[in-house]
Amino acid sequence: MSPRDKTASRDGQSASGRNSTVLDIGRPVTPTSSTNVPKPRDIDTPTVMAPRPVPNGKNTKSVFIKTYGCQMNVYDSERMADVLAPIGYAAVDTPDHADLVILNTCHIREKAAEKVYSELGRIRKHQKSNNPDMKVAVAGCVAQAEGAEIKRRAPVVDMVLGPQTYHRLPEMIAKVTRETGDVLETDFDTVEKFDALPAGRNAKGYSAFLTVQEGCDKFCTFCVVPYTRGAEVSRPVDQIVAEARSLASQGVREITLIGQNVDAYHADGPDGSQWGLGNLIRHLAKIGGIDRMRFTTSHPRDMDADLIETLATEPKLMPYLHLPVQAGSDRVLDAMNRGHTYAHYRDLIARIRAARPDIALSGDFIVGFPGETDQDFEDTMNCVREIGYASSFSFKYSVRPGTPGASLPRQVPEDVKSERLKRLQELLYMQQREWNESLIGKTLDVLVEGTARGDGQLFGRSPYLTGTHFDGPEELIGQIVPVTITSAGVNSLVGSIAKT
């Protein structure tokens, strides 16, 4: 049977109806407030952290945090707010009167640094005319890669901190306040960072990211991550469990375990053995209140048999997998230093689908990598046709200074890259629509996240991560509701509450 002919099983139970063992955290209290739910995150569009009061109510200062890039940066921004809350900083959604402005940057896209400098120029003008006491910090991957240059080009910046040093924010702010000079913190020390972060989090909503791993040792020739995030480091199991319990106690029902290379997770387990991601998932699934789990981003080289078995047997793990291939040509994959062939990827997908037939597959694709020929591109198109994707992310190759790909010969002309990307996206969008349309008539469990734009309409996520709209009372927000799908578009589903 085709994987597109399967429906998702009910959350919290396997197909046979057996329940997972539950630890004694108890069920969470579901918040009653509702919020309008934004569109799915676009990595190229920066987001602003929503207002967040300090838990003890003693707000003495305000911080405006603007986030660029991936879900890891979203998580980092949330943890910055957690670190600042004990010293009285409350998050606000405008820089107008903020005491502190933080730009949490991403280096994955072309001209990322220039966008930061443009933003800093606007902040400088605002500071000069309206808020001279405002402090400014640049965090994230651009800070890590270009810290000294940022200080040289943008004197408005008081603090520059890389991804592994934001736990030092209170100390850095104190130094600036005492006028002891500008602060630049870009050392790699992931273990120290996670040791210093508070175990609890101020959760917002019913779904949350949880970082379990950072950095990457793969050194793909197009990627800056090993240079900005450092080597692969996994968090200790007890830290992750404590954070997951904190999220569950605040009403979070779905957690997504994240890492630059999440499948590379490995740490000493409570039983004394070396745990991989599969062990960690099965352990976290025992926490009461956590009803759904996901993980991203995976690498084909680290998707092991135990993790595949966990996909098959853990009922709380959703049937959605983001597993980038980047290209379908072995010659291009080798030039990218991906460390796998297309045949390896194809066979891996076959094993995953055999273990979890209802899996929805997502992938990443880069077109126009240096030296990519017409035949190489056709190999990528054939890969997409053969594998079939429910969702995807596709981009033109852009030079990342300092990466091996930047100096490769035979750079592909921009117009050729644009034409190839257009053809690839047309195929990927067609597959995405077909996948969504295959769900019409099926009943899916939807985690209701908030209200939608229409009167009486709710919004949630299906097990396949697809945005789903349906009519219902606001009392259902925060619940997992069976919804029968009645129509589908490229990016979303529409349904009605299933009749019992």
Report strand pairing: 443-451 vs 480-488. Answer: antiparallel
* pLDDT, tens only, 215-242: 888 999 988 777 777 788 899 999 999 9
Q: Identify whether 390 is part of a domain.
A: yes
Range with lowest mean pLDDT among 170-184, 260-274, 359-373: 170-184
pLDDT of residue 55: 56
For residues 447 and 428, membership in a common domain is answered with no
pLDDT of residue 285: 96
Range with lowest mean pLDDT among 187-196, 233-242, 314-323, 372-381: 187-196
Domain boundary (416, 438, 460) is at 438
Residue scoring higher pLDDT (99 or 27): 99
What CATH number has the domain bearing residue 453?
Answer: 2.40.50.140
Q: What is the CA radius of gyration of the chain?
A: 23
Averaged pLDDT for residues 290-296? 96
Binding residues: 70, 106, 141, 216, 220, 223
For residues 93 and 107, membership in a common domain is answered with yes
pLDDT of residue 276: 97
Q: Identify whether 382 is part of a domain.
A: yes
For residues 460 and 473, membership in a common domain is answered with yes
pLDDT of residue 164: 72
Q: Is residue 105 predicted with pLDDT exceeding 90?
A: no
pLDDT of residue 207: 94
CA atoms within 13 A on the CB side of 480: 20
* pLDDT, tens only, 201-213: 678 899 999 999 9
pLDDT of residue 357: 96
Domain boundary (315, 332, 353) is at 315
Task: Share the mean pLDDT of the chain.
Answer: 83
Phi-psi domain of 368 (left: phi exceeds 0; alpha: psi -120 through 50; beta: other): left
Averaged pLDDT for residues 456-462? 94
* Dist. CA 252–CA 247, nearest whole Å: 5
What CATH number has the domain bearing residue 430?
Answer: 3.30.750.200
Q: Is residue 50 predicted with pLDDT exceeding 80?
A: no
Residue scoring higher pLDDT (313 or 407): 313
* pLDDT, tens only, 427-451: 999 999 999 999 999 999 999 999 9
For residues 128 and 216, membership in a common domain is answered with no
* pLDDT, tens only, 340-374: 999 999 999 999 999 999 999 999 999 999 999 99
For residues 284 and 305, membership in a common domain is answered with yes
- Structural tokens at position 307: 């993790």
* Dist. CA 34–CA 211, nearest whole Å: 26
Binding residues for [4Fe-4S] cluster: 70, 106, 141, 216, 220, 223
What CATH number has the domain bearing residue 219?
Answer: 3.30.750.210
pLDDT of residue 49: 66
Q: Identify whether 195 is part of a domain.
A: no
Q: How many domains is the chain built from?
A: 4
Residue 386: what are its φ and ψ, rounded to 5°?
A: -75, -40
For residues 53 and 173, membership in a common domain is answered with yes
Q: Identify whether 42 is part of a domain.
A: no
Averaged pLDDT for residues 468-481? 96
For residues 171 and 269, membership in a common domain is answered with no
Averaged pLDDT for residues 310-315? 97
How are strands ordered across the β-sheet holding 391-396?
Answer: 320-322, 360-367, 391-396
For residues 69 and 138, membership in a common domain is answered with yes
pLDDT bucket at 52, cuts 50 / 70 / 90: low
For residues 90 and 163, membership in a common domain is answered with yes
Q: Identify whether 39 is part of a domain.
A: no
Which of 348, 347, 324, 346 has its CA nearest to residue 336? 324
pLDDT bucket at 197, cuts 50 / 70 / 90: low
Residue scoring higher pLDDT (77 or 378): 378
Report strand pairing: 467-471 vs 457-461. Answer: antiparallel
First to last CA, the chain: 27
For residues 417 and 455, membership in a common domain is answered with no
Domain that holds residue 112: 47-188
pLDDT bucket at 56, cuts 50 / 70 / 90: low
Q: Identify whether 34 is part of a domain.
A: no
Which of 137, 66, 135 has its CA nearest to residue 106? 66
For residues 57 and 169, membership in a common domain is answered with yes
pLDDT of residue 150: 84
For residues 325 and 401, membership in a common domain is answered with yes
Domain boundary (269, 288, 315) is at 315
Residue scoring higher pLDDT (109 or 291): 291
Give CA separation, 130 vs 127, 440, 463, in Å.
5, 54, 47
Q: Identify whether 1 is part of a domain.
A: no
pLDDT bucket at 25, cuts 50 / 70 / 90: very low
Q: Identify whether 328 is part of a domain.
A: yes
